Structure 1
Amino acid sequence: MQQAQRDSGPQAFTDIAILGGGLAGSLIALAMAAHRPELSVTIFERGERLGGRHVWSFFASDLPRGGEALVDPLVAARWDGYSVRFPGLRRQLTTPYRSITSARLDAAVRAVLPPERIVAGVDVAAAEARGLVLADGRRFSAGAVIDARGSHGLAHMAGGWQKFAGRALCLSAPHGLTGPVVMDATVEQIDGYRFVYCLPFSATEVFVEDTYYSDTPDLDLPVLRHRIDAYAARAGWTVERVDYEETGVLPVIAQGDFDRFWAEGGALPRAGVRAALVHPLTSYSIPDAVRFALYLTTLDNLSAERLGRISHDWAAQHWRERRFYRMLSRMLFGAAEGPQRWRMLARFYALPEALIERFYAGRSTPLDMARILAGRPPVPVGAAIASLAGKGRPLADLAAAGGL
């Protein structure tokens, strides 16, 4: 009754207000619904549908304890392994692979939150620690506000970009794939390290993504569409229709000043890319989003002040722990010319499968790190050493390219 009275007033109340209904914000809402049902949680999303139009993928080994139960309702496809293709190397790996779709994300959140707890299709005009105002004038008060709206470039950080265009293709005949092709780098190397990524959602449905580790954030969609069509044609596939399309430009973090980045981002608690909670080299965000969402459910004190300190300390610890991957990003962008970058990835994929699993999960051991760096590097030694002093392009430039 008390909650109903608070909600019926001129300024609705919620225990936790989440700005942004993307992956990070939605996972927090799902985790709270599962583990802290006594709390009211409201998502504020500028789009009409949570998650937009995206496919997110991850390895089953990426998830922390309790993570599988959290993400299971979001998973649209599961495979028992995956393959990679490079010039001179083709390998089948057995690590289970999963894909989440935005449609499943939207449905899962709507299944656990009451309709009034999902406020979509409107911008947030202003937000502070304990409340927000929407562009249409509605006001909400909150025990705490968490900013999970992604980012329009990472200020005070530098590196490169992973950019892509993906198309969901419906074919006239079976494609013949037995599992995902996570990297096909046998394609022409253009605009940095290029690979094609294929997810077979059914015998005649395949999601094909053309991806680049590039020095620039610009993305020419008509050109990438043409390259995807050409890839399908070379595979012998006849495309009946394109069911949907997505694009993305993600940061590949090589270096940065975390304290300045955080200070410039405002005083609100943060999650997801807005807190730089991504793998610096792969740009994967699911493992970190799941870990942070589950951690928040264990806190007794979820006040605005407490969440502000927690999110900063969590992100700062993540920044310290990921320095090895930032070093590899500097080597990838600084030690090799764009057309030769594939050699670093090909060498990596020749390493033991367990090491590869820990790498993607952000849990590389000191022995793993030594193994990755051991032996003759696939790039000139002098260039590899020089790259460690490089910084890359400012990732705040991403704002000029339309954001993340």
Structure 2
Amino acid sequence: MVDSPHSPAASETAPHDVVIVGGGLAGGLIALALHRQVPECRFVLIEAGRTLGGHHRWSWFETDIRPSARELTRGFRLNGWDEGYDIAFPALQRTLPTAYRSLASAEFHRALAAQLPADRVMLETKAAHLDAAGVTLADGTRIAAKRVIDARAFKPSTALAGGWQVFLGQHFRCDRPHGLTRPVIMDAMVDQVAPHGNGAAYRFVYVLPLSEDEVFIEDTYYADQPKMDAAVLKGRVAAYAKAHGWAGEVIDQEAGILPVISGGDFDAALSEVAIPGVALAGARGGFSHPLTSYTLPFAVDNALAIAGLIARRPQVSGAELAAFCKRRAKRHWRATAYYRMLSRMLFEAAEPGRRVVVFEHFYALKGGLVERFYAGRSTWPDRLRILTGKPPVAIPRAIRALFSSGKPLNTETPA
């Protein structure tokens, strides 16, 4: 069990094969993939927090992860719903058949702590400096490495354009069964108003029935500014629970502010965070869905790709690994251009209070199209279908958004 802020790995003098900085989703999965696929690899995972994964819940559709890659999630206790999920909009209520999965960060930490060697994980350990030859910790300890991977959190850049997805969720233990059998991925039958200071925004409530008497309720909105009024969101979650007759106690809570990228100069953004000879992974390296902010499917693919490269080429250098990850990041950026265009439609073509209509229009389409959209694998017929029919936004505004470079991403520290 990993329970020590410093492991014996810190005192070893021989260079590690790999040092991973950042024990979130991306870094943790890379460590797991290396442990399983390259057991001889001497890696160490460095995390500044007390646990791996932070305090989050990651969710995804079963079809988001390719069947050949699902093995990496083996060993995690997942919440799963094979009977599909519900969505609700003012003019559309629907059940879609795609299976849904969810992983809590506490379970992520438990499973990794059980599977990874204890001397390969360093918790409560802050990295002060990264370079191609290793990592220097805040206490001055030097950890030499043949390859270094930077999997720390996303860093906002003025080179990028877009907005923000703001959310606060609470885990309720109800005093009686709640009666839900499927997740509600989007309940947009709520006021389309962000907390004071943010104005109108696309807002919805996300609901996961975790057990017969436990339910996770998250209030989410898309906004132009990275601001959160936690008190207001808590009140909204409580009001939603009350409106559905769910009484009980809050046993956990999470909150976050995620980027929704609509454009920008990706090379310039990468150059702001890149360190020569150090590989970039996770959201910091650009691996997320530009519109939904989902990261898990891309984190799985990258972890397997990195482990596969090291397994095939044990002598691959740190510079080569960094170039490999950069090529993957740029390929991902090109492949997700369509979703960035849709983000511009959301933030620039739709009036804030009418953004709900954009999503309502989308969810009326065929289920297979929706599946491929979330997985970031929309076909050209899918893309044309999303943009055909009665437009959910004014055509002149849509044309301007289509050719826009996007609103500069607000880089203020999220509040």
TM-score by length of structure 1 reads 0.95
8 Å Cα contact 1:67/1:291 also seen in 2? yes
8 Å Cα contact 2:10/2:143 also seen in 1? no
8 Å Cα contact 1:11/1:139 also seen in 2? no
**Residue 288, structure 1, aligned to residue 298, structure 2:** yes
Match of 2:264 in 1: 256
Mean Cα displacement is larger for which, 6-15 or 266-275? 6-15
Secondary structure of the equivalent of 2:290?
coil
Match of 1:274 in 2: 284
Q: How many angstroms does 1:378 deviate by?
A: 1.0
Match of 2:18 in 1: 16
Match of 1:35 in 2: 37
Cα gap change, 1:206 to 1:377, in 2 (>3 Å): same
CA RMSD of superposed structures (Å)? 1.5
Match of 1:237 in 2: 246
Match of 1:160 in 2: 163
CA distance in 2 between counterparts of 1:374 and 1:277 reads 29
8 Å Cα contact 1:75/1:98 also seen in 2? no
CA distance in 2 between counterparts of 1:149 and 1:56 reads 17
8 Å Cα contact 1:159/1:391 also seen in 2? no
Cα offsets for 1:1-45 (capped at 9, x unmatched): xxxxx9696535321111100001111111111111111221100
Cα offsets for 1:300-359 (capped at 9, x unmatched): 334201111001110001111111000000001111111111111111111111111110
Number of aligned residue pairs: give it: 395
Which amino acid in structure 1 is aligned with residue 414 of structure 2? Answer: A
Match of 1:373 among 375, 387, 404: 387
**Residue 317, structure 1, aligned to residue 325, structure 2:** no
Match of 1:226 in 2: 235
Secondary structure of the equivalent of 2:210?
strand
CA distance in 1 between counterparts of 2:11 and 2:411 reads 41
Cα gap change, 1:134 to 1:78, in 2 (>3 Å): same
5 Å matches for 1:66-145? 66-80=68-82, 81-145=84-148
Match of 2:5 in 1: none
5 Å matches for 1:205-224? 205-224=214-233
Cα offsets for 1:193-231 (capped at 9, x unmatched): 000000110111111100001111100000100000011
Match of 1:174 among 167, 172, 177: 177
CA distance in 2 between counterparts of 1:108 and 1:98 reads 16
8 Å Cα contact 1:74/1:101 also seen in 2? no
CA distance in 2 between counterparts of 1:380 and 1:248 reads 31
TM-score by length of structure 2 reads 0.92
Q: How many angstroms does 1:76 deviate by?
A: 2.5
Secondary structure of the equivalent of 1:312?
helix
CA distance in 2 between counterparts of 1:250 and 1:26 reads 19
**Residue 202, structure 1, aligned to residue 215, structure 2:** no
CA distance in 1 between counterparts of 2:255 and 2:365 reads 31
Secondary structure of the equivalent of 1:104?
helix
8 Å Cα contact 2:81/2:182 also seen in 1? yes
Match of 2:399 among 377, 385, 389: 385
CA distance in 2 between counterparts of 1:65 and 1:39 reads 26
**Residue 151, structure 1, aligned to residue 154, structure 2:** yes
Instruction: Give ranges in structure 2 of 5+ residues lacking alignment.
Output: 1-7, 195-200
Cα gap change, 1:221 to 1:12, in 2 (>3 Å): farther
Q: How many angstroms does 1:258 deviate by?
A: 1.1
Instruction: Give ranges in structure 1 of 5+ residues lacking alignment.
Output: 1-5
Q: How many angstroms does 1:398 deviate by?
A: 3.9
Match of 1:401 in 2: 414
Secondary structure of the equivalent of 2:392?
coil
Cα gap change, 1:381 to 1:50, in 2 (>3 Å): same
Match of 1:60 in 2: 62
Cα gap change, 1:150 to 1:339, in 2 (>3 Å): same
5 Å matches for 1:183-202? 183-191=186-194, 192-202=201-211
8 Å Cα contact 1:16/1:142 also seen in 2? yes
